[in-house]
Amino acid sequence: SQQGEEDPQALSIQEGENATMNCSYKTSINNLQWYRQNSGRGLVHLILIRSNEREKHSGRLRVTLDTSKKSSSLLITASRAADTASYFCATGNAGNMLTFGGGTRLMVKP
Amino acid sequence: DSGVTQTPKHLITATGQRVTLRCSPRSGDLSVYWYQQSLDQGLQFLIQYYNGEERAKGNILERFSAQQFPDLHSELNLSSLELGDSALYFCASSPPTGARTEAFFGQGTRLTVV
């Protein structure tokens, strides 16, 4: 079974708008990671936030982590058509094995 | 390009057959992970090898097996294939650091069982 559940499952926005995706997980974690997948292709790592961190930025990405609520959010600001993809959260624990959520399908309309 | 190479990219085979998927990790990475992505199960961790030794096992069927060779490439063997085994199979590798870190994924092998 999957550790994380993402919300929403699908999101459609206009170029220039912000996109927010949420992830909830069930057990304690070492870190939480976000990955991006273009249609049927490999996953690309976006950002990693450790369990003792609350917020992290990378370019147009902002990730928050609330371990008390076992939740994380990914914010993509000023979205572009090229951001259209599926986004997955993954929790990392012992051995660096990743447990993925179901993903959010993001469509950014030009 | 992640530096992780998977072959073949596509594979079509019949039920009951056996196939081997190959993965070459990034240079210097000792850990190799195999994941399966299907429409109904999502992305599932199958198995991890570290420097030739099995390190962790996930939802891997008994019909599936893997190994990591001395040159660190890995193979995932799928036997007695069923229609439900049709999926994308990803290999990932990660650096040999003590800290938990990101994984680098290959482009995957798309397996279709007919």
Of B43, B103, B106, the CB nearest to A96: B103
- pLDDT given at position A12: 97
Q: Which residues does chain A have within 8 Å of residue B45's beta carbon, measured at their own beta carbons?
A: 97-100
- Written as one letter, the residue type at B106 is G
The overall average pLDDT reported for chain A is: 91
* Number of CB pairs, chain A paired with chain B, less than 8 A apart: 69
Decide: A102 and A95 in contact? Cβ < 8 Å.
Answer: no
**Mean pLDDT value across residues B13-25:** 98
Of A83, A81, A107, A99, which Cα lies nearest the Cα of A23?
Answer: A99
Pick from A33, A42, A97: CB nearest B58: A97
Q: Which residue's structure tokens are 């928050």?
A: A64
Task: Give yes or no for B10 touching A (CB within 8 A).
Answer: no
Using one digit for the tens of pLDDT, what is the confidence trace for A44-63?
999 999 999 999 999 999 99
Residue A110 contacts B where some CB pair is shorter than 8 Å: no
Q: Residue A1: what pLDDT?
A: 43
pLDDT per residue as tens, chain A (110 positions): 445 688 899 999 999 999 999 999 998 888 899 999 998 788 999 999 999 999 999 999 999 999 999 999 999 999 999 999 999 999 987 667 888 999 999 999 99
- Write down how long chain B is: 114
